[in-house]
Amino acid sequence: MKQHRPVPENFCIKSATVSKTPTGKYFVSVLFEYGEVIQPVKVENVVGLDFSMKELFVSSDGVTAAYPRYYHQSMEQLQKEQRRLSKCRIGSNNRNKQRIKVARLYEKVSYQRKDFLHKLSRQIINVYDAVCIEDLNMQGMSQSLNFGKSVHDNGWGIFTSLLGYKLSEQGKKLIKIDKWYPSSKTCSCCGKVKEELSLSERTYRCECGFVCDRDVNAARNIKKQGILVLA
C-alpha cells in the first residue's frame, strides 16, 4: 500500500471506500472525523473570477489562468487509439489490452487536469481572502450551448470545489453570486446595463467612454457584487 499522508492520532475513522479504476488500479478512500476551530480571516484582498471557455477564468485584476487544455492536446491520439479499439473483436485479449490503453490516456488527462487545478487554486487562496464567482450550472451550459467537450476539459466545477474547501480550511470565503446577474452586460465603470451583447463582442464599450476586455469587465462586476454580499 502507498499511504499518501500520515494520520494524526486524534482522527477518528468513520468509513473506507474501495474503488477500482478502468486501468485496473485500486484505491481506498478513508473518511476521518476530527475537531478543529477555524478562526475567520479578516477580508482585505478580494478577487472576482469570470469563467472563460478558453482560459478557464479571467480575474478582476486582468490575469488569465492560461489553462493548457489537456484533453484537446491528447484528442488526436485518443481518436487514433479509439479507432483501433473499435476494430478489435469483442471479448478478445487484444480488445481488453486496447481498452486499457485508451483508459490510461483518459486517466493521464484527468491527472494532468487535477494537478493543474490543485496548484492554481492553492496560488489563489495564498493571495486572496475572498474569491467571488458566478454560481453557474456547468451541465446546463454544456448541453444548451453545445460546448460539452470544452466545459469538461476546463474542469470549472472541480476548480470551484477545490477553491471552496481550501478557502474554508483557512477561514476564508468563497462567494457565489446569482447566475442571472448580468455581469457581462453591466459597465464596471458607470454601472449601466446593455440590453444586448453578442458572444462575438470580445471588447466591452460603454456610452460613458469606458472600453475594456469583455471578460475583465465581467470579473470586475462579479467582484463588486461579491463585496456587496460580504457586506
Which are the contacts of 33, defined by CB distance < 8 A and separation ≥ 6?
Answer: 11, 12, 14
50 is catalytic: yes
61 is catalytic: no
207 is catalytic: no
Exactly one of 81, 129, 153, 215 is catalytic; which is it? 215
**Contact 119/66 with Cβ under 8 angstroms?**
no
What is the rounded end-to-end Cα distance, in angstroms, of the chain? 48
Exactly one of 81, 129, 134, 153 is catalytic; which is it? 134
Exactly one of 9, 50, 107, 135 is catalytic; which is it? 50
Q: Give which of 193, 195, 118, 93 is closest to 218, Cα–Cα.
A: 193
The DSSP result for 20-74, as a single string, is E-TTS-EEEEEEEE---PPPPPP---EEEEEEETTTEEEETTS-B-----HHHHH
Bridge partners of residue 31, in order along the sequence: 15
Active-site residue set: 50, 134, 215
